[in-house]
Structure 1
Amino acid sequence: MLKNVSARLGTLFAGSLVKQIMIGLVAGIMLAWLSRDAALAVGLLGELFVNALKAVAPLLVLVLVISSIANHQQGQKSNIRPIVMLYLLSTFFAAVVAVIFSYLTPQALTLTVGATEITPPSGITEVLRGLLMSMVANPITALMNANYIGILVWAIGLGLAFRHSQPSTRAFLTDASNAATWLVRCVIRCAPIGIFGLVASILASTGFGALWQYAHLLSLLIGCMALMALVVNPLLVFSKIRRNPYPLVFTCLRESGMTAFFTRSSAANIPVNMAIAKRLNLDEDTYSISIPLGATISMAGAPITLTVLTLAAVHTLGISVDLPTAILLSLVASLCACGASGVAGGSLLLIPVACNMFGIPNDLAMQVVAVGFIIGVLQDSAETALNSSTDILFTAAVCQAEADRIPSRI
């Protein structure tokens, strides 16, 4: 009896994760439609899933980056530099796209201004200071607070230090990396159950009313992200591989973007991207570093959220914005996006930083954040799908471009 149950569970977990997630999504919608109380009760499953992702993702990034750098042999070409350049270019272009379409279709928010006085902006010194302080944060604190910039800095430093360690130590780091990856895969395999609980509880508690209230704003956000995924990113990929980029683009969106859409965590989607890279026969020395790195600094969706919501607040409050200021906003949004948390909703908490550029006080900025959380069910999912699929897309583009150049040299 136990063997039969174990065999059936093994078959279930070995099936297509995307299909299982879709089943969980449909089941959650049906439960919310049939019984509101039951849907709220199963919300615990969703909370457990999200908290498990939040708990394991920082540790995964730390261990993967340390192991990848420590085991990288000197003289091996990893092609990290062109991948990082693509990451940064995509992030900046995403902010520019958001600025352009925010000008073309200005948005208005419902904000309680009251007697709050708007003061002139004091510059971006605090932005840079916060970024630097995040870099030198205590590693334990960085892990506890999911400070991915601090985690990345410590991981790079420790990885470089461990390159001089004994082979047995580097072998242990490899085992630790494999163990952390296995643990995250186990959590992700529970995604269908977690999505079932999340969707059911969200629909039971809020319904679609809150989403329809901001449907225009949500459509602008998702439209900008779709433009990045289907136009801008393919152009960047074409500049590398010099052939039709869309087969690779659609593969990454289908296999990486779909799971990231539901898990809503770039960091937790690292094992999925690693598996895709292995199946595409990419250079392991490259993707073992670029994928964890991309989960931290490749945030093409985050500057769209930051820019669109900030300019919506600016338009609502009647603050005039010229083109140089909008370009500066793009730069700040790109900078903030690199420090965005790799877990669900991380970019929304950076909105006050961008709002500060226009002298918008923190209490109004937090109202904008609240609007972001209202539409966050779809916004954050689409943002994470763009972020995570971009990681594997650019890694594959650079690896394939390098592979195409090698025969020509021979």
Structure 2
Amino acid sequence: MYNMMKKWNQISLVKQIAIGLIIGIILAITIPEVAKPVTILGSLFVGALKAIAPVLVLFLVMSAIAQHKSGQQTNMKSVIILYLLGTFLAGLIAVIVSFMFPVGLTLTKGVEEVTAPGGVTEVLKGLLLNIVDNPVKAIFNANYIGILAWAILLGLTLKNASDTTKTMISNFSDAVSKMVTWVIKLAPLGIMGLVIESITTNGIESLLSYGKLLFVLIGCMLLVALVVNPIIVFIAIRQNPYPLVFRCLKESGITAFFTRSSAANIPVNMKLCEKLGLDKDTYSVSIPLGATINMAGAAVTISVLTLAAVHTLGIQVDIPTAIILSVLSAICACGASGVAGGSLLLIPLACSLFGIPTDVAMQVVGVGFIIGVLQDSFETALNSSTDVLFTATAEYKMQIKEGNKVNINKIA
């Protein structure tokens, strides 16, 4: 038994996850009823990640800022620019593809009790209120905007604290990071449980009638992940971007696909940034911030489903309105994490741009919930893996600018 565990630990985490994935699929297809109790492993894994992520973000950000030395360079400005650019371009790509492959919908009921935000101002108001949220409540509700705000303020006020205090905070940060390592080691079992739950609960039959819509949605997300993002990275660092792109998709995208939670994937992304040798002062802030505002997948979802409603109703759309939709979807996507229901509940807001009634728009949201098992998985995988990709890109760009040699092939 000891030798088996030793050999298992020698296998890379990605291969371990792949093994768990394959076993989960086999069990769910062959003996679904017997395998159902195993789904508790998936719930425990996601629960553990969600539980530790807010505490991790608070201590990492607070420690990084408290120990930051004056004059020390950071590249947060570049990271935020990449986040916003990537989200806008994702929305724009979704609009273009939706016109190339127009999709009609069979509208559905079933979400009448859900309330969507009334406008962009309401979304932005929600974000601002999250900033001034009670710190204990922010941690309890995993409100990362609020957690970041408090961590930054505490870090700034502790800059003049004694070395003993700073050491204590740093020790807490290291301890939480170590706990994250323990949780991530359980990923293969967690992914196995999540796969079994997904297949036994949802099946594949319910998705077949929405094949064309899923093709456009997933196609757009793959286009952003494999074409648009690599182009952005290449322009920034002038090197082949694909080793880094594939590393981020493999080590961040796979777990995000199954957990379907950017918040739960924050510890995974932190660990990947550490493996890539990135500056802890930067990624401890950029990763939780990316889980809030870097929402390329959400921009795709909002644009595609909104234009699907437009095509279903036979509404004519001109180019300026389509461009406005791209901007609106990017703004809404950045606020998606502050709204219950995520990107889907921002669809009525985008539909209002074309005069589509709320009751019809909410039927489109119903379609979104039906295909959510795949839509949300791909969306989260794109969002979360891009957080690491753009954080790494900004740092490598700064290193190259300073005259240092950076070889992505060796790093990734």
Q: Scaled by the length of structure 2, what TM-score is found?
A: 0.86
Candidates 262, 273, 277, aligned match of 1:277: 273
CA distance change for structure 1 residues 71 and 90 in 2, over 3 Å: closer, same or farther? Answer: same
The equivalent of 2:135 in structure 1 is 139
Partners of 2:55 and 2:373 in 1: how far apart?
25
CA contact (8 A) 2:98 2:308 kept: yes
State the Cα deviation string for residues 89-118 of structure 1 (Å, max 9, x = none). 00111111111111222222222479x9xx
Candidates 55, 58, 61, aligned match of 1:59: 55
Partners of 2:306 and 2:162 in 1: how far apart?
50
State yes or no: 1:87 paired with 2:95: no
The equivalent of 2:35 in structure 1 is 39
State yes or no: 1:236 paired with 2:232: yes
TM-aligned CA deviation for residue 44 of structure 1:
2.4
Partners of 2:43 and 2:404 in 1: how far apart?
53
The equivalent of 1:399 in structure 2 is 395
CA distance change for structure 1 residues 76 and 382 in 2, over 3 Å: closer, same or farther? Answer: same
Partners of 1:42 and 1:367 in 2: how far apart?
34
Partners of 1:267 and 1:73 in 2: how far apart?
29
The equivalent of 1:75 in structure 2 is 71
CA contact (8 A) 1:69 1:289 kept: no
Could you tell which deviates more after superposition, 105-114 or 326-335? 105-114
State yes or no: 1:377 paired with 2:369: no
TM-aligned CA deviation for residue 366 of structure 1:
4.3
Residue type of the partner of 1:56?
I
Could you tell which deviates more after superposition, 337-346 or 71-80? 337-346
TM-aligned CA deviation for residue 88 of structure 1:
0.9
The equivalent of 1:220 in structure 2 is 216
The equivalent of 1:162 in structure 2 is 158
CA distance change for structure 1 residues 254 and 241 in 2, over 3 Å: closer, same or farther? Answer: same
CA contact (8 A) 2:347 2:365 kept: yes
Partners of 2:175 and 2:199 in 1: how far apart?
36
CA contact (8 A) 2:13 2:185 kept: yes
CA contact (8 A) 1:58 1:146 kept: yes
Candidates 22, 27, 32, aligned match of 2:23: 27
Partners of 2:150 and 2:178 in 1: how far apart?
22
Give the unaligned 5+ runs of structure 1: none
TM-aligned CA deviation for residue 196 of structure 1:
1.6
TM-aligned CA deviation for residue 75 of structure 1:
0.7
TM-aligned CA deviation for residue 142 of structure 1:
2.5
- Give secondary structure in 1 for the equivalent of 2:196: helix
Could you tell which deviates more after superposition, 101-110 or 223-232? 101-110
State yes or no: 1:259 paired with 2:255: yes
The equivalent of 2:310 in structure 1 is 314
Partners of 2:150 and 2:34 in 1: how far apart?
44
Could you tell which deviates more after superposition, 171-180 or 362-371? 362-371
The equivalent of 1:347 in structure 2 is 343
- Give secondary structure in 1 for the equivalent of 2:80: helix
Number of matched pairs = 400
Partners of 1:365 and 1:169 in 2: how far apart?
53
Residue type of the partner of 1:403?
Q
State yes or no: 1:333 paired with 2:345: no
TM-aligned CA deviation for residue 374 of structure 1:
2.7
State the Cα deviation string for residues 342-401 of structure 1 (Å, max 9, x = none). 999743344344345445555544443343333233322222222222222222222222
Partners of 2:157 and 2:190 in 1: how far apart?
39
The equivalent of 1:190 in structure 2 is 186
TM-aligned CA deviation for residue 74 of structure 1:
1.4
CA distance change for structure 1 residues 265 and 343 in 2, over 3 Å: closer, same or farther? Answer: farther
State yes or no: 1:211 paired with 2:207: yes
CA contact (8 A) 2:214 2:371 kept: yes
- Give secondary structure in 1 for the equivalent of 2:245: helix
Partners of 2:9 and 2:263 in 1: how far apart?
21
Residue type of the partner of 2:86?
S
Residue type of the partner of 2:186?
C
Partners of 1:394 and 1:122 in 2: how far apart?
32
Residue type of the partner of 2:260?
R
TM-aligned CA deviation for residue 249 of structure 1:
2.1
Could you tell which deviates more after superposition, 309-318 or 65-74? 309-318
TM-aligned CA deviation for residue 26 of structure 1:
1.6
CA contact (8 A) 1:94 1:300 kept: yes
Partners of 2:362 and 2:59 in 1: how far apart?
34
- Give secondary structure in 2 for the equivalent of 1:78: coil
TM-aligned CA deviation for residue 204 of structure 1:
2.0
Candidates 320, 328, 331, aligned match of 1:324: 320
Partners of 1:336 and 1:268 in 2: how far apart?
21
CA contact (8 A) 1:65 1:292 kept: no
Residue type of the partner of 1:133?
L
Residue type of the partner of 2:26?
M
Residue type of the partner of 2:89?
F
CA distance change for structure 1 residues 112 and 277 in 2, over 3 Å: closer, same or farther? Answer: closer
State the Cα deviation string for residues 267-314 of structure 1 (Å, max 9, x = none). 333343334333433334333332333232222212111221222233
CA distance change for structure 1 residues 185 and 108 in 2, over 3 Å: closer, same or farther? Answer: farther
CA distance change for structure 1 residues 338 and 370 in 2, over 3 Å: closer, same or farther? Answer: same
Q: Scaled by the length of structure 1, what TM-score is found?
A: 0.86
The equivalent of 2:409 in structure 1 is none
The equivalent of 1:126 in structure 2 is 122
The equivalent of 2:101 in structure 1 is 105
Candidates 292, 314, 332, aligned match of 2:288: 292
